[in-house]
């Protein structure tokens, strides 16, 4: 299975900050990388698919980049509703695998 490593595991930030989360795959996965946001007690929500494509309805302050084995999720200006846990997921090969998550907390 392809291992997905996210960093940091958690971060503290203020409203208005720019936040960057990284995800590294244990092998090249081309651009088959997706990002999800999950709030406590809720299901994950798709933010970004295929490394950089913004899912319908997702605010443009979210962006994704990368290819091969290194990827980033950026939030240009953090809003109160963005405090959540973020997961990356590879869809290059079965089984699809997820990172362990990055929790974005309020500073």
Partner 1 sequence: QVQLRESGPGLVKPSETLSLTCSVSAGSIRSGTYSWTWIRQPAGKALEYIGRIYTSGETNYNPSLKSRVSITADTSKNQISLKLSSVTAADTAVYFCARDRDHSYMDVWGNGTTVTVSS
Number of residues that bind partner 1 (CB under 8 A): 23
Which residue of 2, 34, 37, 86 would you call a contact of partner 1, by CB under 8 A? 34
Residues 55-94 that bind partner 1 (CB under 8 A): 55, 87, 89, 91, 94
Classify 81 as helix, strand or coil.
helix
Q: Looking up tokens 């089984």, which residue turns up?
A: 95
Q: Which stretch binds partner 1 (CB under 8 A): 11-19, 47-55, 62-70, 76-84?
A: 47-55
Angstrom distances, CA of residue 90 to CA of 8, 63, 65, 68, 85: 18, 17, 14, 11, 17
CA distance 107 to 99: 23
Positions that interact with partner 1 (CB under 8 A) = 1, 32, 34, 36, 42-46, 49-50, 55, 87, 89, 91, 94-101
């Amino acid at each position: 299975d392809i291992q997905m490593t996210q960093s940091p595991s958690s971060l503290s930030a203020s409203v208005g900050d720019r936040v960057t989360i990284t995800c590294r795959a244990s092998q090249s996965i081309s651009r088959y990388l997706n990002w999800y946001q999950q709030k406590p007690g809720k299901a994950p929500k798709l933010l970004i698919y295929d490394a950089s494509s913004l899912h319908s309805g997702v605010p443009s302050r979210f962006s994704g980049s990368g290819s091969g084995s290194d990827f980033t999720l950026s939030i240009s200006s953090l809003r109160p509703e963005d405090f959540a846990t973020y997961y990356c997921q590879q869809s290059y090969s079965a089984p699809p695998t997820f990172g362990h998550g990055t929790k974005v907390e309020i500073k």
